[in-house]
Amino acid sequence: MRMSQSVREAASGRRARVTRDRALRAAVALADEGGLESLTMRSLAQELGVVPMALYKHVANKDDLIDGMVDIIIGEIDPAIAGADWKSAVRERILSARRALLSHPWARAAIESRTRMTPVMLSYMESMIGLFRDGGFSVDLTHHVLHALAGRIWGFTQEVFADPPTSEATEVDPEALAAALQEMASKYPYSHEIAMAIAHDQTSVVGGGCDDQFEFEFALDILLDGFERLHRQGWTSTGRHRGVVGPA
């Protein structure tokens, strides 16, 4: 068990004065440890050895706090490599964003809860757009390409479901697992086929599941290759509401 900031400071007898920056970093640390739902104004205040209301001197409200936390995470994304072609520059940048997001699992939900971008986020988008424009993409194609990338721009893994609650005693009962697979085989044969393929690919059935990094790059590369093809073909959207647009 890690010694909390407040306990440590009480023990050492001093207590650093709260600043916005200190509050934001403590909030990031708290969310890293216990998830976004464990971060409350009250828990953050306790971590800083201060009464909840003291935070409102440094942060307008909880939304403002989360804005600041998001800016810290966006700041961890590597700048684009200079001199590379657009495709590898975009690819590397997005993989860097993914790395940043992966080390802060709460950040996806935090970003998705924002109703508008901070200046830090606007700058990041701006440089991402610049990679395509400098690579010769039209404004039109760049616009749609940004939509197609969507969450990937922010490094979001596209997994849909929430992590199962991290209970300490999460050992899988082998008997129950076998029974579940048996039931799956009869009720959901197609799904079972895939589950078995994944299991076969692993050292054990119990083991981790899918290779998220591979899946992320798989989809990213299909998209990037698609963009490249459309760009080479001189694709334009030529007005809106045309339905299907895929290359013939």
Please state the closest distance from residue 12 (CB atom) to its own copies, in A: 40
Question: What number of chain residues touch its own copies (CB under 8 A)?
Answer: 69
CA gap 22, 231 in Å, rounded:
46
Residues of this chain that interact with DNA (CB under 7 A) are 17-18, 39-43, 50-54, 56-58, 61-63
125 binds its own copies (CB under 8 A): yes
Q: Which does 112 bind (CB under 5 to 8 A by kind): DNA, its own copies, none?
A: its own copies
Site string for its own copies, 168-187 (x = CB under 8 A): -------------------x
95 binds its own copies (CB under 8 A): no
Tell me which residue of 98, 188, 86, 93 sits closest to 132, measured CA to CA: 86
Q: Which does 61 bind (CB under 5 to 8 A by kind): its own copies, DNA, none?
A: DNA
Our CB check for its own copies shows the closer of 7 and 207 to be: 207
Point out which span in 10-18, 21-29, 76-84, 190-198 binds its own copies (CB under 8 A): 190-198
- Report the site for its own copies in 97-116 (rule: CB under 8 A): 111-116
Residue 195 amino acid letter = A
Point out which span in 7-15, 54-62, 78-86, 217-225 binds its own copies (CB under 8 A): 217-225
DSSP string of 5-16, one letter each residue:
HHHHHHHHS--P
From candidates 172, 194, 208, 233, binder to its own copies by CB under 8 A: 194
Applying CB under 8 A, the residues found at the interface with its own copies are: 111-117, 122-123, 125-126, 129-130, 133, 139-140, 142-144, 146-148, 150-151, 153-154, 156, 158-165, 187-191, 193-194, 197-198, 201, 210-211, 214-215, 217-219, 221-227, 230, 237, 240-247
